[in-house]
Amino acid sequence: MSMVCTGCGAPLQMEREGEKGYITGDAFMREFPLCQRCYRIKHYGEITPASVTEQDYRAAVMRALERPAVVLYAVDLFDFNGSVVRGLQGVLRQHEVILAANKFDLFPLRTNPDRVRSWLWREARRHELEPAEVFVVSAKSGGGVQSLFDRLRRDARDKPVVVVGMANVGKSSLLNKILQLSDPEEGQLYTTSPFPGTTLGALAFKMAKTGMTVIDTPGLLGTHRLQDRVCTDSLKQILPKQRIRPRVYQLHAGQTLFLGGLARLDFVSGNSQSFVVYAANQLVVHRTKLENADELYERQRGRLLNPPCSSCDPTLQQLVVKKMGFKEGRPVDVVIPGLGWIRLSGAAVDLRLHTPAQIEPAVRPALI
């Protein structure tokens, strides 16, 4: 099949539902065939996610940003480090960037959004992003979305909003919320059109009432994030479903924490102190003696220490060790992209972190 979607320009295919260019046989027979994704946007005003790998992604984003635009840069607040799109900083500097940190509903109730916003400003700069504004939002609850929408409407009168983000940060959910605010009566309100230089899955559409043009680029997948490497069942184990309950462990040197079988933190030396795990509530966190940890991992991986399971990428079982030493100072988070983070209290400590090859752990000032 070599025809392309008359909406987004993706090559049409009937084999893989949910993937780029999927179309049913009936729809394919139409004079101007639209892939399932474009069809839903056009007729139901509902955006479903599309994801691609690096090369297609860069081409789509570069193309969309050839002209002045307001960039809506969506990140997942639960996985800020895994949400930063690498190598895009240069091109983004030529545009106004609005950073929307999504999924705030997952954070403990007492979390102060103003503190989170200040933290985001600092972290964005550390990642060489220069946003014009930062919003803390929840596409799920709708919190913060109205302010974001007002800002976009104000700044994107004569240029399009280009939406960028890694896959699964909630870009589509956020766009759908914005569409509801823009055009509350659903129906045939949106016009989709092929974006120039197509076959890439980027999609331009115009909101009927506000006249705002939105270009949605596909979400990027990355090997450095666990959510893109585990199987669908394991994904359910690591993605938070509800508000995260921080789990506090008072540990002393010679103890180890396992986060499923995907991360292991050895407390090598330092005074007794607290470690707070921020991860999906359903993820098993197991404490053991450091001297037993190797044997426990060999015996229990895929069982008690799960995920990963046998359907996940097998290289997830090749753990790489990183030594980490901290002098006394401010609290920091040891981040495992896609899985969550462990907040250290700021006391001096020597640690060893074991994570799967290619997953890139990071250390950052504590978020909470």
Q: CA–CA separation, 216 vs 196, rounded Å? A: 13
Cβ closer to ligand GDP: 33 or 219?
A: 219
Cβ closer to ligand GDP: 167 or 368?
A: 167
For residue 319, the minimal CB distance to ligand GDP (Å) is: 27
For residue 125, the minimal CB distance to ligand GDP (Å) is: 23
Cβ closer to ligand GDP: 100 or 296?
A: 100
Q: CA–CA separation, 292 vs 53, rounded Å? A: 40
Cβ closer to ligand GDP: 9 or 218?
A: 218
Cβ closer to ligand GDP: 37 or 63?
A: 37
Cβ closer to ligand GDP: 48 or 118?
A: 48
Residue 221, φ and ψ in degrees, nearest 5: -95, 150
DSSP three-state, residue 240 = coil
For residue 256, the minimal CB distance to ligand GDP (Å) is: 30
For residue 323, the minimal CB distance to ligand GDP (Å) is: 34
For residue 236, the minimal CB distance to ligand GDP (Å) is: 10
DSSP three-state, residue 196 = coil
Closest residue to ligand GDP: CB criterion: 170
Cβ closer to ligand GDP: 168 or 255?
A: 168
For residue 182, the minimal CB distance to ligand GDP (Å) is: 17
Helix (H) or strand (E) holding 362, with range, is strand 362-365
| DSSP calls for 250-291 | EE-TTEEEEETTTEEEEEEESS-EEEEEEE-TTS-EEEEEHH
For residue 76, the minimal CB distance to ligand GDP (Å) is: 7
Q: How many residues does the chain have?
A: 368
Helix (H) or strand (E) holding 360, with range, is none
For residue 100, the minimal CB distance to ligand GDP (Å) is: 10
Binding interface with ligand GDP (CB under 6 A) = 49, 102-103, 105-106, 138-140, 165, 167-173, 219
Whether the bond into 194 is cis, omega within 30 of 0? no
Q: What are the b/e assignments for 313-342, b being 16+ CB within 10 Å?
A: beebbebeeeebebeeeebbbbbbbbbbbb
Residue 289, φ and ψ in degrees, nearest 5: -80, 140
Cβ closer to ligand GDP: 64 or 139?
A: 139
Both tokens assigned to 345: 């209290």
Alpha carbon 42 to its chain centroid, in Å, reads 26
**Contact criterion met (CB below 8 Å) for 355 and 336:** yes
Alpha helical stretches, state H, 76-215? 80-83, 89-92, 113-126, 145-155, 171-182
